Structure 1
Amino acid sequence: MSEQLPASRGRVLIVEPSSSGVALLAEAHALGFETVVATADVDDRRLPDAARTHVDRLVVVDTNDEQALAEVAAALHAERPLAGIVPGFEFYVDTVARLAPALGLPGLRADTARGLRNKATMRRLVEAAGLRVPRHAEATDERELLAAAAHVGYPAVLKPTESAGSIHVSRVDSPEQLLAAFRSLRADHRTDLGRVLDGPVLLEEYLDGPEVSVEGYVENGRAVVLAVTTKMLGPEPYFVELGQIMPHPAAPEARAAIDAYVAGVCEALGVTRGPFHCELRLPAGEPVLIELGARLAGHRIPNLVEAVTGISQVRIMLAGYTGLTAEEVGAESAPTAKYVGIACFTAYGLTRYQHIEGLDELRDHPDTLEVKLYVRPGEPIPPAEDFRCFLGHVVYKAESYEDAATRWHAVRDEVRFV
């Protein structure tokens, strides 16, 4: 965590903090904000117990009901003015962009925020700016989907237009695979933060090349790239992110091309403040957009960024949504590692496990920074199709990219779930 600053910042409303967004609570307190949280506080929107110590006031509201959330925010602001309203997860980025102007608070542009959540809109805006995006088409039923495939071609990637965590993102190589993947998506009635997958889908061309993400922020209209991250993906047809290594090795000209492309994407999508997490494929070395989120990345990536750069994207997000600068919130400190990685634990083929081998040795390794488990022995393990299959993770440091990559493969081999 960055340095503690004086308590004199007013109060901030954080909407449904989840994943990396939970870190906003502790940092808001460290910055001297009075922290108000709006949350449904039920099921997968329940605020973690450990985070509640940093909450000054918890307001229970259906955060997926924008009108109800707007009424809560307006009442809080009338009671005592808020310094800012901050989305605690990707699903609420566009919601907050619409709420902030009504309260006279800093925020993203309400007229462009839709493109930050809807992947089809996102591609249209970026393509209109003259930047390459995957060939793509939207569909709502099987007839439209087959017509989309005639435009996109095979292989292709099917995905929901509004989701996260690689849920139901899959490669398809034929009409039969396409229809099977679509029917599987439509038959999945599980929710993600209370939302179901009942909207349009996007079909786009498969880009053959390495995948990276770009972490940064926008301040005073300028996009600042902090780091490029190598994404370690599981076996296709799915695109499960099994971990990351940072920083990604790139020649100066390749890095310059990535930075310029991402700055163009931010401008096209109206990202005017706060952090971003931009996912790219690099076919033949050329950066091509997968998606951009104007929010904190998941997978502990903000922690990796801070370790190798000393920059807190969490503090930058709080600054952007309260009208402060990165300097004013003490977002910069000294790096603590040259290279870092995170490896997520999976157990392909198992529906449950009874015990773990190699975990104590991993915890005792001098390069290990953090080990966490999410699934306990005997609990069901979801299929290895998206982030829900993760059993836990390890974060570690290394002296070189090569060492970090070797360590990534080693820890996944050394820790065994049986």
Structure 2
Amino acid sequence: MSQSKSAIILVAPRDNEIDLVKAKGFKTILFRKSINLEEAFSVDVPIEVDLNNELLVVEKSIELAEQYDIQAVFTMNEYRIPLCARISEAIGLKKGLSLQAALNCRNKKLTRKILYDSKVDQVQFVLVKSPDESLEALKQFSFPVIVKPSNDSGSQLVRRCQSQDEVVQAIQEIKNKNTNFIGQPIDPEILIEEYLEGPEFSVESVTINGETTIIAITEKKITSPPYSIEIGHTVPYTLSSEDYQSVHQLISKALLVLGIQNAVTHVEIKKTSSGWHIIEVNARPGGDQIPKLVRIVTGYDLAELALHIALGGTLRDAPKHPVQAPSAAIRFLIADQPGTVLINDTIFTEGHCNLVDGKLNVHPGEIVPQTTSNYNRLGYIIAQGSSDTHASEISEEILKSLELRII
């Protein structure tokens, strides 16, 4: 098949995946439930299809593989990683993520069970299907505990509970949702986990032929209970030599038992009094603009790197850009209560010398609900540091200047 027929399938891309594929010179085949006119003209083959009907998507992919030389199936969309893996296996691609590895990471109960059974990270957990089942299960735990759905994302319905009543309420809230954020049936088995006390980080790494290299470590800021909302990320976070070795060993073992052979991953971890523990494993680059922060500081674009690996590339021949700054940070805007937004939004139009990017999703005077997950934050600002001032300090100064209040 001619080079002009070489193509990459993109499944519900969320960021700049289309541009990355086009820059590589491949034809672009887009799968999405609904495609707007602008996006339809930006790709070679736009296909509207119900992505939750995975058998139909696979059938269409097999048909396309007879017309095009499909080189990879690509997305940064957490929910669609297993579908990409399923398509890849169906059309005979060998370079990327296996379907089982994708499922092991996408479903939090599978991740926790595999890590526990393999003795890589034995965080206490139990699975329940109803509030009544939780009453017996809670006898194994001390409060607080974490309650979360097995197959959602973005901190949706994740609660830290201080009592049996709060656990019952959190479980019932999950059961009241028939589907997750993208309309897939909610897994009936709900996770109750021990609460891990300590600072939270994420490890941005690349695994090639089973060997894992850490690209960057991100320091995370999380809201106070009951919700678990990410409100800030800072890159890099420098660990001591001992901690770095412990983290690298933990991540490498976890990815190995989960079946990750070739992928860019985003692993959330905490350091507790008993050592380092895993919160969750994502078989794709981090969201929340983390790739932008990592590129500023390291020169590696994690999304570009993920595509490079999916095409069979190595870290040695991976694309790398000039380093822009020694540190970078993002801070998110949230509504701490429902009400009217008051904000000094001039920085979004006039800029700031260290502001790399910013976005406001609401207007001054708009009425908003309380922010309860990563999906209904109000906006963000990204700052880069200098040799004199760290990005975390600059980002906090910019955040303060916005004078955000909800009344």
Question: TM over 0.5: same fold?
Answer: yes
Are 1:223 and 2:216 counterparts?
no
> Given the alignment, which residue of 98, 102, 106 partners 1:117?
106
Contact 1:12–1:36 (8 Å) recurs in 2: yes
Are 1:284 and 2:273 counterparts?
yes
> Given the alignment, which residue of 378, 385, 391 partners 2:378?
391
Aligned-residue offset at 1:38:
0.4
Are 1:23 and 2:16 counterparts?
yes
Q: From the superposition, tell whether residues 202 and 191 of structure 1 become closer, same or farther in structure 2 (CA, over 3 Å).
A: closer
Deviates more, 1:109-118 or 1:364-373: 109-118
Are 1:10 and 2:10 counterparts?
no
Counterpart residue identity of residue 373, structure 2 = D
Aligned-residue offset at 1:345:
1.0
Alignment of 1:345-356 (within 5 A): 345-353=333-341, 356=343
1:123 aligned counterpart, secondary structure: helix
Aligned partner of 1:71 in structure 2 is 59
Contact 2:268–2:281 (8 Å) recurs in 1: yes
Aligned partner of 2:358 in structure 1 is 371
Are 1:242 and 2:231 counterparts?
yes
Encode CA deviations 1:21-61: one digit per residue, 9 max, x unaligned: x22111111111111110102xxxx66x7765642221100
Q: From the superposition, tell whether residues 331 and 203 of structure 1 become closer, same or farther in structure 2 (CA, over 3 Å).
A: same
Aligned-residue offset at 1:249:
2.8
Aligned partner of 1:157 in structure 2 is 146
> How many Å separate the matches in 2 of 1:95 and 1:121?
17
Q: From the superposition, tell whether residues 304 and 240 of structure 1 become closer, same or farther in structure 2 (CA, over 3 Å).
A: same
> Given the alignment, which residue of 92, 99, 106 partners 2:80?
92
Alignment of 1:169-180 (within 5 A): 169-180=158-169
Counterpart residue identity of residue 61, structure 2 = A
Q: From the superposition, tell whether residues 29 and 380 of structure 1 become closer, same or farther in structure 2 (CA, over 3 Å).
A: farther
Counterpart residue identity of residue 409, structure 1 = E
Under a length normalisation based on structure 2, what TM-score does the superposition of the two structures give?
0.91
1:343 aligned counterpart, secondary structure: strand
Size of the aligned set, in residue pairs, is: 402
Aligned-residue offset at 1:229:
0.4
2:74 aligned counterpart, secondary structure: strand
Deviates more, 1:145-154 or 1:205-214: 145-154
> Given the alignment, which residue of 103, 111, 115 partners 2:91?
103
Are 1:81 and 2:73 counterparts?
no
Contact 2:206–2:212 (8 Å) recurs in 1: yes
Contact 1:248–1:401 (8 Å) recurs in 2: no
Contact 1:136–1:148 (8 Å) recurs in 2: no
Aligned partner of 1:406 in structure 2 is 393
Alignment of 1:251-400 (within 5 A): 251-284=240-273, 286-326=275-315, 328=317, 330-353=318-341, 356-360=343-347, 363-377=350-364, 380-399=367-386
Deviates more, 1:72-81 or 1:337-346: 72-81
Q: From the superposition, tell whether residues 317 and 200 of structure 1 become closer, same or farther in structure 2 (CA, over 3 Å).
A: same
Contact 2:32–2:49 (8 Å) recurs in 1: yes
Contact 2:102–2:283 (8 Å) recurs in 1: no
1:236 aligned counterpart, secondary structure: coil
Q: From the superposition, tell whether residues 332 and 206 of structure 1 become closer, same or farther in structure 2 (CA, over 3 Å).
A: same
Structure 1 portions without partners, runs of 5+: 1-6
Counterpart residue identity of residue 310, structure 1 = G
Aligned-residue offset at 1:8:
6.9
> Given the alignment, which residue of 55, 59, 64 partners 2:47?
59
Counterpart residue identity of residue 220, structure 1 = N
Aligned-residue offset at 1:323:
2.4
Deviates more, 1:126-135 or 1:275-284: 126-135
Q: From the superposition, tell whether residues 292 and 119 of structure 1 become closer, same or farther in structure 2 (CA, over 3 Å).
A: same
Q: From the superposition, tell whether residues 77 and 200 of structure 1 become closer, same or farther in structure 2 (CA, over 3 Å).
A: same
Aligned-residue offset at 1:110:
2.6
Counterpart residue identity of residue 346, structure 1 = I
Aligned-residue offset at 1:200:
2.1
Counterpart residue identity of residue 28, structure 2 = T
Aligned partner of 1:36 in structure 2 is 29
Counterpart residue identity of residue 356, structure 2 = L
Aligned partner of 1:4 in structure 2 is none
Q: From the superposition, tell whether residues 74 and 336 of structure 1 become closer, same or farther in structure 2 (CA, over 3 Å).
A: same
Counterpart residue identity of residue 9, structure 2 = L
Q: From the superposition, tell whether residues 288 and 50 of structure 1 become closer, same or farther in structure 2 (CA, over 3 Å).
A: farther
Q: From the superposition, tell whether residues 403 and 320 of structure 1 become closer, same or farther in structure 2 (CA, over 3 Å).
A: closer
2:169 aligned counterpart, secondary structure: helix
- Give aligned-pair identity as a percent: 25
Deviates more, 1:115-124 or 1:204-213: 115-124
Q: From the superposition, tell whether residues 401 and 123 of structure 1 become closer, same or farther in structure 2 (CA, over 3 Å).
A: farther
Q: Which runs of 4+ in 1 moved over 6 A?
A: none
Q: From the superposition, tell whether residues 401 and 14 of structure 1 become closer, same or farther in structure 2 (CA, over 3 Å).
A: farther
Contact 1:85–1:322 (8 Å) recurs in 2: no
Contact 2:6–2:68 (8 Å) recurs in 1: no
2:70 aligned counterpart, secondary structure: coil
Aligned-residue offset at 1:70:
0.5
Aligned-residue offset at 1:361:
7.6
> How many Å separate the matches in 1 of 2:122 and 2:39?
39
Contact 1:358–1:414 (8 Å) recurs in 2: no
Counterpart residue identity of residue 24, structure 2 = L
